[in-house]
Amino acid sequence: MQLQVTNSPFSQEQVELLNRLLPSLTESQQIWLTGYLFARQTTALSTASTELQAVSGESNAAEVISIASQAPVSREVTVLFGSQTGNCQRIATSLSRKLEEQGFQVTLAAMNKFKTNGLKKVENLFLVVSTHGEGEPPDNARAFHEFVYSKRAPQLENLRFSVLSLGDTSYEFFCQTGKDFDQRLEELGGKRLAPRVDCDLDYDEPVAGWIAQVISSLNEGAGSAAAGSGDSAKESSSSTTPEASVYSRTNPFKAEVLANINLNGRGSDRETRHLELSLEGSGLQYEPGDSLGIYPENHPALVDAIIHELGFAPTDSVAINKNGEQKSLREALLKHYEITALTKPLLTQAAQLTSNTALQELLAPGQEQALKSYINGRDLLDLVQDFAPWQLTPSSFVAILRKLPARLYSIASSFKANEDEVHLTVRAVRYEAHGRERYGVCSVHCAERVEAGDSLPIYIQQNPNFKLPADPDAPIIMVGPGTGVAPFRAFLEEREELGADGKSWLFYGDRHFVTDFLYQTDWQRMLKDGVLTKLDVAFSRDTEEKVYVQHRLLEKSRELYQWLQEGAYVYICGDEKHMAHDVHAALITVIEQEGGKSQEEAAAYLDDLQQQQRYQRDVY
């Protein structure tokens, strides 16, 4: 983020000095500088308090600084993460390594692996957690979330803590799980060692700032230790192996497109692309269950319409990063900034750049429902058209936009079966809203403007929470309607390469058998070869009464429960809002009926499967 007078408490001269200095600092220099500011006298601490409030949006920065300078802090630290896709686990692992380098003894674990009866003994606790669905905890944070809000939760007067939360400001309950944990730990008597930081999709800088605050606060209380004494740290069962490749989310690989095929038959009202990308020369590898991140381009027609509406020139030069790198306005909007989603923070900043008071009125207290209604289904062009006249320049305009985030897709291939290749299943999203046709950014980019021979900036997103059983003989049950079937193609390719003997059962659904049966020939071959044991399908538009995958689960309830009793692993992939909830409810019904259990006992049975990692979901 480029500092400006409008987004910081600094003067123009100070902003210019800081923007020249900050990009040149190494990570260790940033940590040292943060610690130096914390150690300043009372007047300097007051200034630091103001800065911390600006970063975190909290009013308790003064409390944090006071705590940091109190009695010695234990050198034992617990870092817990709640992660659906793996981002929080990577951040928590990074924090743990940095703390170990500072001489702290670190215990790192997923929230569902942490023994809650030991919470009372923890003195330094750092939580890294995402928010899923409608303000809900990720699957591996649910049990811990329920515990701290239960009557069994202990008083935590000796606890010092801090929370980092990941979210998306385009969702109503932005970072809600992190806010919940932060509030509840305080209610239980805990004291913040560093303020909670809520991160949007472009989270690298705020994460680095939070980690620096955490380390500085601990060192202030515990006394700095020489770097490199981390060999006394507790071994973590949740640590991850560093990627061998130099390519990552912040340094994507330009992968050549080898094939781009429409999987839907003629006459279908859907378009689903099967993409095959080359990883040759990248060093990138992946496992079934991982995802691929693609940095897409916005639709050129939308970019041109926004520029035209504002009266700017496409060639106007703007900065695209904190280092001041310049690109043309058109290229910046095409490749670097989000223009298809509106958020409350964006509208709040935009309101300062227009003389149209209607936007201020929409943001006024009591107008939450009207604001939510306006944001839904609208994009940046709507905002520009609806609240003119604007008083801005190209630079001030892009300064209020957030970075264009990558789109994640479940990988549909096994690396063992397709070395140096990765396959994806991408359904093109097109719909009409507010009198204008709208496009899914990445899906339509891939469907309309990407051909064999082109390249896409990509990276591998490891997902340790959606993995095949370690035992290849364990039975697996896979529920994946539509594009949710993608990772199960990878699962079965992998098991075929390994020669796994475990049974496999796939539940697949879509609209029409003739036109929408994705990867039909693959499943038929796998059934013939014995790689896939059972296949049940549901095509909702082929019958008078709509039938979905959850109905097939209920129809097969006796055999399904038998597989569960035999140790089967259950995997769900696809739509979180409807399908995943319906399938979850169907599974509880199956367990209740076939196991002779109450609804509460059936729910507890499913929770236990989740604790054993025998019930895993990759839902979105």
Complete DSSP assignment for 201-236 = SS-HHHHHHHHHHHHHHHHHHH----TT-GGGSPPP
Taking each continuous run of H as one helix and of E as one strand, the counts in the chain are 23, 21
Q: How much is the pLDDT for 43? A: 36
Residues with Cβ within 8 Å of 92's Cβ and at least 6 positions away in sequence, in order, are: 79, 80, 81, 83, 108, 126, 128, 238
Q: How much is the pLDDT for 401? A: 96
Torsion sign over Cα 328, 408, 540, 605: negative
Exposure pattern of 404-431 as b/e (b: 16+ CB <10 Å)? bbbbbbbbbbbbebbeebbbbbbbbeee
The DSSP annotation for 228-266 comes to T-GGGSPPPTT--PPPSSS-BTTB-EEEEEEEEEE-SPT
Q: How much is the pLDDT for 620? A: 86
* pLDDT (tens digit per residue) in 82-112: 988 889 999 999 999 999 998 999 999 999 9
Q: Which amino acid is at 538?
A: A
Torsion sign over Cα 130, 134, 136, 139: negative
3-state secondary structure of 398: helix
The DSSP annotation for 85-130 comes to SSHHHHHHHHHHHHHHHTT-EEEEEEGGGS-GGGGGG-SEEEEEEE
The C-alpha angle 98, 99, 100, rounded to 5 degrees, equals 90
Exposure pattern of 562-580 as b/e (b: 16+ CB <10 Å)? ebbeeebbbbbbbbbeebb
Task: Report strand pairing: 317-319 vs 291-294.
Answer: unpaired
Q: How much is the pLDDT for 580? A: 95
Q: How much is the pLDDT for 42? A: 32
Bond into 394 cis (ω within 30): no
Contact 401, 170 (CB under 8 A): no
Contact 246, 283 (CB under 8 A): yes
Contact 195, 61 (CB under 8 A): yes
CATH class of the domain comprising 253-280+407-461: mainly beta
Q: Residue 166 and residue 609: Cα distance in Å, rounded?
A: 26
Q: Residue 174 and residue 348: Cα distance in Å, rounded?
A: 15
Structure tokens at 375: 């944001």
Domain extents for the chain? 5-232, 253-280+407-461, 300-399, 476-619
Crossing angle between the packed helical segments 42-56 and 61-68, to the nearest 10 degrees: 130
Q: How much is the pLDDT for 74? A: 72
- Residue 94's closest CA among 121, 191, 186, 83? 83
Kindly give the parts of the chain with pLDDT less than 50. Answer: 36, 38-59, 61, 64-65, 68-69, 224-243
Asked whether the domain spanning 476-619 has the same topology as the one spanning 300-399, the reply is no
Strand partners, 276: 259, 423
Q: Residue 255 and residue 453: Cα distance in Å, rounded?
A: 10
Contact 144, 185 (CB under 8 A): no
Q: Residue 225 and residue 98: Cα distance in Å, rounded?
A: 12
Contact 424, 412 (CB under 8 A): yes
Neighbours of 57 (CB within 10 A): 11
* pLDDT (tens digit per residue) in 487-537: 999 999 999 999 999 999 999 999 999 999 999 999 999 999 999 999 999
Residues with Cβ within 8 Å of 200's Cβ and at least 6 positions away in sequence, in order, are: 167, 168, 169, 174, 345, 402
Q: Tell me the CATH number for domain 5-232.
A: 3.40.50.360
Q: Tell me the CATH number for domain 476-619.
A: 3.40.50.80
Q: What is the enclosing helix (H) or strand (E) of 68?
A: helix 61-68
Strands (E) in 503-602, as ranges, are 504-510, 534-539, 569-574
Cβ-defined contacts of 202-208 (< 8 Å, 24+): 202/402, 202/403, 202/405, 203/87, 203/166, 204/250, 205/1, 205/322, 206/55, 207/91, 207/164, 208/27, 208/30
| DSSP-derived secondary structure letter, 401 | S
Q: How much is the pLDDT for 134? A: 80
Q: Tell me the CATH number for domain 300-399.
A: 1.20.990.10
Torsion sign over Cα 190, 195, 198, 204: negative
Strand partners, 536: 507
3-state helix, strand, coil in the chain (%, to 5): 45, 20, 40
Contact 459, 277 (CB under 8 A): no
Phi-psi region of 164 (alpha: psi -120 to 50; beta: other; left: phi over 0): beta
Crossing angle between the packed helical segments 27-39 and 42-56, to the nearest 10 degrees: 130
Q: What is the enclosing helix (H) or strand (E) of 459?
A: strand 455-461
